[in-house]
A and B are shown apart, each in its own frame.
Chain A
Amino acid sequence: MNREIVFRQKFEIQGGDFSRGGEVSCEVKNLLKELGLPAPSVRRAAIASYEAEMNVIMYAEHGVLDLSATPLKIRIVIEDSGPGIEDIELAMNEGYSTATPEMRELGFGAGMGLSNIKKNTDELEITSEIGKGTRLTMVVLTERHQP
């Protein structure tokens, strides 16, 4: 099977830009669809991408999304410059959120983003440095990869 990267693209995400929230992930989804990857894997990757994109918009100053795909897997790395996450385990808990009242009014802050990412990825690595930023590495395997 071909393991080579068949596609790679980077996207910029601007912190605080709620009006464009989700645009990058919609583009990611359309690109992956065009590559002909299986729809369920594309959907999972796009959802994980969306939650990570929104977290950059909500909490960080700036982020870069690096999308790469092979016929076997979709890999998305989102790295931001921002406050970082002090306790990643705590942040992963469903319901934990530091969203502001303004964000909550818009329907953000359920504290479910990171658990949605966990559920929709096959591999997830989160590293963070306080005062510097956060990096999420997410991998979604395509069905073809599974037995």
Chain B
Amino acid sequence: MNLAELIERFDLKVFSKGLELTRTIGGGYAGDLLSDVIAHGQKDQLWITIQVHPNIVAVAALKELAAVVLVNGREPAAETVARAEKERVPIFGTSLSAFEFSGRLYGQGIKGS
């Protein structure tokens, strides 16, 4: 599944504008502790989190994650969106919880590793 298909299937909100959405998703990781995501996230994965501050962009960019999905209806800070567009890290949102969203992703064949 690529990012554009993900947005469509899960009716995600797209916070970052003008970024390419053709990248194929290579699994997912859920976590709110940044160094834990650094340690365990893998390139091309989706990152599912409630963190919304600008630092999530650096983590996603450095780990080469496919995109960040903010759960529980969280909205990113304006600064986060600006940085995401600059570093080309797509940021999406859903009203679902991390558990619920991850479960549905898993059902669609996107797994942890």
Contacts and interface: CB of A to CB of B under 8 A. Distances in A.
Chain B, interface size: which category?
Answer: 20 to 34
A112 B61 contact: no
Nearest to B59: A22
Looking at chain B's contact residues, is the secondary structure mostly helix, strand, loop, or mixed?
helix
A22 B38 contact: no
A36 to B, nearest CB: 17
Interface in B16-62: 32-36, 38-39, 43, 49, 51, 53-59, 61-62
B111 interface: no
B35 A112 contact: yes
Contacts of B100: none
Contact of A112 (B38, B43, B54): B38
A116 interface: yes
A108 B61 contact: no
Interface stretch (A23-31, A82-90, A135-143): A23-31
Interface of A: 18-19, 21-23, 25-26, 29, 43, 46-47, 50-51, 54, 106-113, 115-116, 119
